[in-house]
Every structure is written in C-alpha cells, then in structure tokens.
Structure 1
Amino acid sequence: MAAPTRTPVVVRSATADDLPFVADIYRHYVDNTVATFDFDAPTVADWSAKLTTIAAAGRPFLVAETVDDGVIGFAYLGEFRSKSAYAQTTEDTIYVRHGLSARGVGSALLSAVIAATDPANVRQIIAVIAAESGDASVALHRRHGFDEVGRLAGVGRKFDRWVDVVYMQLEIS
C-alpha cells in the first residue's frame, strides 16, 4: 500500500479571514510552551491590529495552508524595537500548527518571508528564540542563512522557570 500523499503547502499573504486560525495556532504556544513569552493569547482583534500595522509598514504577514487542513502556520516581520534607529531592523515570527512540525511548513514560511522582504525597507531580520524549546527553530534559521549572534541567559520567566534567549541575524541585501 502506498504512503498517503500530503497536499501541497501554499504560502500567501494573510487576510482578515485567516486571523481566527492564526489566533488558534498561537494560543497553543502561549498556553503550553515557552516558545513565546506571552502569558495571554492575543485576541482576533489584536491580530487584526497587528496585520494592519505590518501591512502599513510594507512588511510581509503570510500564512501557510493546505487544501486538506486550511491554515496550518503563519509568519511575519514585526517591529524589532520601537526606537527610530531600528526602523529597518525587523523581528521574524513563525508558528506552525501543533502536531505539524518537521514537515517543511516552517521552512516554506521562512523562505517566503525572506523572499517577500524589500531590501529598501528592511536591512536586518532578527530571530529571538527561546533556547529551551528552540533547537528546531535555531536549525531552521541557520538553514536559511541566519547566524547566531548572541545568547541571553535567564531573561524570560514562564511556567516557574528561567529561559535563555538565542539571537540570530540575517542581513538582507
């Protein structure tokens, strides 16, 4: 018997209709992991505001979907820091629906985010990764040309434990 085939992953710009799925995917990581340091999951309205802000800045906010599963992941380039001198430096965010990791979805999203980045608008992409849960994320970013540029010890506290953060950087040229 042949192995089941997977429907292809399509990466496209996010729309307002995608935001309930984005919120649901992210909520899992808020409630169950240290991959995000958020304690409270953003609402769909919060995600709508973020989508508007990112679009206004000319940066990508993408979703990955399949015919069978609908939206299974998302990625975007958000603000790295609020000070004006950081305007051309962004922080990437990538999440894949729980249970669907290691299937190339994160790689498809990261490739698409990098490809959609306008070098006139963005010079650097920074990945801020919780070290405890981020081995796969570190490897993913490394495969896409990011260099590890720093590690901060015990800077986040979630679920009654201190968590290190890895900084990775990609220059857009």
Structure 2
Amino acid sequence: MTLRTATTDDCAQIAEIYAHYVEHTVITFDYEAPSAQEWDCKRSNIIDRRRPFVVAVEGTVVLGFAYLAEFRTKRAFDWTTEDTIYLRPDATGRGLGSTLLRALLTDLDPTSVRRVVAVIAVIESDASIKLHERAGFVDAGTLRRVGFKHDRWVDCLFMQYDVPQA
C-alpha cells in the first residue's frame, strides 16, 4: 500500500467510493454523489490552497482517500479545516483510516492550519469517533437531529484537533 497525493486519474475511483456511502449510509449528508469531474475540481481547489488530499493505493486501486477542506467560508475560519476520510468498503478494518488521518495531520502546514475539525454522523458504529480520539481529537459538542437521510434523523458529533505550534 502506498500513500500519495491524489491525481485527476484517481477521481473516478474516489467518486465510486464516495457514491457507496451516499447511496447506502447516513455518514454523509449528500443525497447525490458528485461526479468524477466534480471530485477533480474539489481535489484541485484543495491542493491549490496547499492543503493535503491523499489516496491510499495498492497498484492501481484506490483503497481510500482523505483531505483537509475549508471548514466554513467566512474568512475568520481560514485557519480551521475539516477532515474527510473514506475507504473502499472492502478495505475497512486494515488501519487505513488511521494511516490516512496521520498523513493529513503530518502533511498540513501549521502556519496556515491551527485547528482540524471532524464532523461525524453519530451512528451505530463508533469507528470514526475512536479513530479521531486515537489521533488526539477531543469532543467539541454534539448537534442533535441536524441531518435527515434514509428516513432517519442523525446527530453530528464535532471533534477538534489543535495543531501543535512550533
């Protein structure tokens, strides 16, 4: 398995991975999955802002992806990012989420990122919560019943990581 910066050629597989979660879960609140072209635009914008967008690959297969995106659009939030991590469903349980999150936290520029926020749908599995806790994220509060998808209301847990400053 190799970690590297995502490329345009990865976007079809990224779109496929994400589409699974859009269609079958409530861990993303999207109702429609973005196309490969939309993913490539997002990837390009994130990289242009000097934020990491990485993929875990085996050969030519993208096993998972992760990136740090804008947390909110207002300028005062420029030093805060939101992390996103998704794995191919058959690649879970191998430690790839931890590897990808560690890469994000290692590759970020601490002069432009002071906080990383995780917005986690509260579901039956607490794997994402445990992943973030192991990486040093702390509970920053829960918003109750803020998302409605697949005929159910979903809470969102906010977790925060304070980037060590030199």
Query: Given the two structures, how large is their TM-score scaled by the length of structure 1?
Result: 0.92
* Residues 35 and 134 in structure 1, CA contact (< 8 A), matched pair in contact too: no
**1:82 equivalenced with 2:73 (yes/no):** yes
**1:123 equivalenced with 2:111 (yes/no):** no
For residue 99 of structure 1, report the CA deviation from its aligned partner. 2.3
Distance 2:111 2:134 in 1: 24
Distance 2:73 2:57 in 1: 31
Distance 1:101 1:168 in 2: 21
Q: What is the aligned partner in structure 1 of residue 92 from structure 2?
A: 101
Q: 2:3 aligns with which of 3, 11, 20?
A: 11
**1:35 equivalenced with 2:21 (yes/no):** no
Deviations for 1:26-57, whole angstroms, at most 9, x for unmatched residues? 00000000010000000011101101110111
Distance 1:172 1:53 in 2: 22
Secondary structure at the counterpart of residue 90 of structure 2? coil
Which residues in structure 2 correspond to 1:19-168 (within 5 Å)? Answer: 19-67=11-59, 70-132=61-123, 135-168=126-159
Q: What is the root-mean-square deviation of aligned Cα atoms in Å?
A: 1.0
Q: Which amino acid aligns with 2:15?
A: A
Secondary structure at the counterpart of residue 12 of structure 1? strand
* Residues 34 and 133 in structure 1, CA contact (< 8 A), matched pair in contact too: no
Q: Which amino acid aligns with 2:43?
A: L
Distance 2:153 2:51 in 1: 32
Q: Structure 1: 5+ residue runs without aligned partners? A: 1-8
Q: Which amino acid aligns with 2:32?
A: D
Distance 1:133 1:146 in 2: 20
Q: Structure 2: 5+ residue runs without aligned partners? A: none
* Residues 147 and 169 in structure 1, CA contact (< 8 A), matched pair in contact too: yes
Deviations for 1:100-158, whole angstroms, at most 9, x for unmatched residues? 21111111100101100100110000000000155100000000000011101100000
Distance 2:11 2:162 in 1: 29
Identity of aligned residues (%): 49
Q: Which amino acid aligns with 2:63?
A: I
Paired residues in the alignment total 164
Secondary structure at the counterpart of residue 153 of structure 1? strand
